[in-house]
Structure 1
């Protein structure tokens, strides 16, 4: 066995508890969904692979771009709103295996969710140790909207690319970080968050490297040959994926570099600083039953903001803070699809690290039942959610 194989086996063994725990939680969620759907005479597999955004992705994979739906109110829903990496992978699997496009999306989601859980573990292990890493991966699995991780959606694929890009930044692998950030930018518009994390950390490191020594006797630490060049290359690679797709959409629509924004406007989606979401919450207080939902939304947003503040106070590394901050801002300040906000926050896993640290310090006889209980509640909620309104 080569040194590389030995290191790979050791890395896998270190992550095994997180991956096995994650797989168990996702299996529970899928089993609960199957039983709930069967009781309602619905197909769980259809809910996972052929509803909502999953249909748009498979249409892109099968027919390419150009499909659109014109609504009675004049809005135009174009499939150009959906970034291409997931459909490309679906098309690849359909072309090389007996799988359909929808099957390919499901396989990609399952494999990507495991890769994402591993990435969440790797990042947290690097910063806070393996026990916290296991807890972080399990917390990501038991989120109330965790069932989306097993859907033919792009959230799992994006989170996997983002997490491993952040890990590469934390470990100084700049070219890898930039390449993964570029792929993340081909997956979802929020790939901007990964690019921002790479750039902010790289610029900060350049400034730190050029800062004069603190004392006359201080000697700058030697750098590996080509370190600056690799850092610059990583920065240049990071935005290429998102920039290439956005520019292509602009050319395709004939509306220039901002053409993608027009596509999103056709879905009544944009960035308004949270004004529309605030009005949405305020409207909940027009009657008593909906006022309870309004209170819940305020508490939920407050919890997210509080978690981010805790992340800052605990001194999380800069790339995690930048990434989580941008993902959270884009999710909360989008002007439409308010029911999607929990799903849009799914990639913001650094927000879970303060809770992971608390669980890591707790005794197993307390943390295991707590996580188990939340896993059961999340599985039931996921089954109820997909059999009801589901993710828009």
Structure 2
């Protein structure tokens, strides 16, 4: 029973950690010598936790609540996001034409911002660090002379906007980090990888003893190879979409990803598809369309397109291997405890199947 509780805790922690990262996105484009326009995207959950925008305190933040409390939001940004040039503050205008967008199950507020300032510009950002754990600001700034990206991870970390194009190495590191983050915050991607791993501890009962012993061998190399096949597959569609060679509706891509989660979970107990690599590659192509959506939100570095794509894909692979390593102790327990495996694996698989089907209904 204690082992069962540990497994349940692991499952819940995995699901929770998929959304515990607090990330804001500052996207700007230079439209004149001294003018930069764009938006700051921040999760409503972060705003609610920090500013308590829900007047009824019932946990239900409505659009009307957000509109009525928008002056409070602007006042907070005015105090916590400072742009200056040569020790002089820039003229910053926070627009009122706000909108909402969905990103990996999180609802984000898109706050328009216009900055009037001569270069060089330094960004000082202190928002949410005191109230939200592991908060980060991602900056994607398109200049007439190049493009630059950066990550602000603490209030003591100012960022100097460079007028020259960002180096290939800095671009690679930025997108490598983004790839890792986006696999961890995408609960559907995380659960798909976990269902793949559950196949390794729930082989078909029809196999004879000698075959079962070989097929059910607890092989980390095989797990990594299977997940790498997933990476290679989604890298294909991600690259083609990022380069505008193919275009698929993001809505139907997300529906397909939800179907892949549900089917893979069901396959753990039905074993309809025994060649896991074929299923993984097929569904990996679907997941690549979802990752392409995330990459488009970040903005592909125009001066280092291939470097951006390679870094993002490699980051996703590293993130997936981290999921495998985190799951290994639980998988080993399930492998060692037959009575536990017979209960936990089907129960977990059916729970993930139900969640996947709920996503299908929700996304349609």
Where relative contact order (Cα < 8 A, 6+ residues apart) is larger, the structure is 1
| TM-score category (smaller protein) | under 0.3
Instruction: Looking at secondary structure, tell me which structure has more strand per residue.
Output: 2
Larger radius of gyration: 2
TM-score, length basis structure 2: 0.26
Task: Give the TM-score, by structure 1 length.
Answer: 0.25
